[in-house]
Chains A and B, each alone.
Chain A
Amino acid sequence: MGRQRGGPVIELRNCSKRYPSQLGQAAVDALEGVDLTIRPEEFVCLLGPSGCGKTTLLKAIAGLVSLDEGEVYIDGDLVTGPGPDRAMVFQDFALLPWADVVTNVAFGLELRGVPKATREKKAFELVQAVGLAGFDHHFPRQLSGGMQQRVGLARALAVDPQILLMDEPFGALDALTRRLLQEDLLTLLDRRRKTVVFVTHSMDEAVRLGDRVVLMTPRPGQVRDIVEVGLPRPRPPDLEKHPRFAELLEYLWQQLREMRP
């Protein structure tokens, strides 16, 4: 990859996180000594079975979870909390039910004190971009799951982050909607240079979307393997027919299978 890339580097150094034992539950080592470097404008998928700490890792990058040990650096700056360089997309969408689509999309800008007219103009553009033209004043309950996550995506893009953090964003959607959103996400990202960290438990999704797939093991959460995807970009519509695709899926499946307790 010889092209000059402008985005930030994310560095995770020896990250550990332990959730203390609660009533009737043993303590959980969500992360143990995770080292990982994410390159500028890279699309990295964190793949692993549930409980492997991939969401904890993502939230550590977001600055929402404090680590017991280790640090996260973005372009050499230590992460101590959320910042305007990062935006997150949530598994359960986390849309405000009392706000309409435009207000939801503009929420991040609103928190940053952007004037109403400016932020709504920006939100309006993004609503169009994610394919929700005409739904500006609908409420979340009036939208399907896929449409709700489009709002979540637009909300994250509205603040123009350099880094997009996605926590199983399509996990709650049906297979068809999921595929459509995957395609649309790639199209949206083509025109916007972003570093993406994408948590998923779907091998198919990881290979379809990512430049690299980080395989994680559960309890303690550790990096088991890092796989270069090496499929062409933009991804062709008949990606399944690519021999590399089947090869990768087979390899990931073998790895995940061996993790079985």
Chain B
Amino acid sequence: MNYALNGRLGTGRLAKRTTRAGLQALSLATFALGWELLARRLDSLLLPGFVETIAALVRLLTTSLLWEAVWLSNQAMVLGFSLAAVFGILLGLLMGRWRPAARYLDPYLNILLATPKAALIPIVIMATGLGLLSRVLITFSYALVVITINVRAGLSLIDPGWIEMSRSFGATESQLWRKVFIRGAFPAILTGLRLGLARAVSGMITVELLLVALGLGRLILDFQGRFDSGRLYATVLVVVAEAVALLQLFRWLERRVAPWAGNGVDR
């Protein structure tokens, strides 16, 4: 009369912390091993083994070549991101609190959202040349929109009851901004900045790979052109590691200062 019992009675989903770390180590080891075996099997100039890549990475990390490239690339990224942070937060606050601004800017924001930003690169370069400014502008355009929409979404989550409550206690306009709006939208601002940072890194590497061969992008292109696969993969790993590290850092920061924050709007 009974159906076969299929293993997961009750709360089988509880994985312990140690098993979790063990599983992830296992998974990474499997990946590395699979990569190595595949590379040996194919024995191709184009696919370096895991060991070869790591060796190339270690050698690369001790050269000034890599660190100069990291420095050069990140200058533009940091400047563009900072600009996007300032403008994005201001724009988000404006659109979140002042309806006409939202109505007027919404269509542009949506078009900008749907536009492949890479397509803007030739135009920006036509306008500003191949210097630092063009790269800053491009990282700026990559990061701006996602910051704006998150700040705005954060404001829209503020309970009108809080505003009434604060007014009833005699809050002034500036108090209202500091203690209710900024405070309430704070987690969303942080989330927007984190997502914006990911976009900025993306913008940085995209412009370098596509039109202004400099920094990390140039390294990648050089290694690819010379069929130096070990160093090509190693440099790609560096870029991925930078992105992951920056995001983890930001996530950690977010959890520290706003543990109640959600995941935000990523489009």
Contacts and interface: CB of A to CB of B under 8 A. Distances in A.
Whether chain B is bound by chain A comes out as yes
B2 A65 contact: no
A64 interface: yes
A85 B1 contact: yes
A79 B9 contact: no
Nearest to A74: B1
B9 to A, nearest CB: 5
A182 interface: no
B108 interface: no
Nearest to B11: A19
A78 B1 CA distance: 9
B262 to A, nearest CB: 21
A80 B5 CA distance: 7
A22 B1 CA distance: 34
A80 B3 CA distance: 8
A14 interface: no
Interface in A153-202: none
Interface string A79-119: 11111110000000000000000000000000000000000
Q: Is the interface of B mostly helix, strand, loop or mixed?
A: loop
Interface string B1-45: 111111001100010000000000000000000000000000000
A81 B4 contact: yes
Nearest to A77: B1
Contacts of B14: 22
B10 A65 contact: yes
Q: Give the bracket for the number of chain B residues in contact with chain A.
A: under 10
B217 to A, nearest CB: 45
Q: Give the bracket for the number of chain A residues in contact with chain B.
A: 10 to 19
B3 A81 contact: yes
A82 B2 CA distance: 6
Contacts of A85: 1
A81 B5 contact: yes
Contacts of B9: 64-66
Nearest to B4: A81
B80 to A, nearest CB: 42
Contact of A79 (B2, B4, B6, B10): B2
A84 B1 contact: yes
A70 interface: no
Interface in A206-249: none
Interface in B97-119: none
Contacts of A78: 2
B3 A82 contact: yes
Contacts of B3: 63, 81-84
Contacts of B6: 81
A83 B10 contact: no
A85 B1 CA distance: 7
Contacts of B5: 63, 66, 80-81
A22 B15 CA distance: 12
B4 A66 contact: no
A226 to B, nearest CB: 26
8 contacts: A22-B14, A63-B2, A65-B9, A66-B9, A79-B2, A81-B4, A82-B2, A84-B1
Interface of B: 1-6, 9-10, 14
Given A65-B9, A84-B3, 11 more contacts: A22-B14, A63-B5, A64-B9, A65-B10, A79-B2, A80-B2, A80-B5, A81-B3, A83-B3, A84-B1, A85-B1
Identify the 9 closest CB pairs spanning chains A and B, nearest first: A81-B5, A66-B9, A83-B2, A83-B1, A81-B3, A81-B2, A80-B2, A85-B1, A80-B5
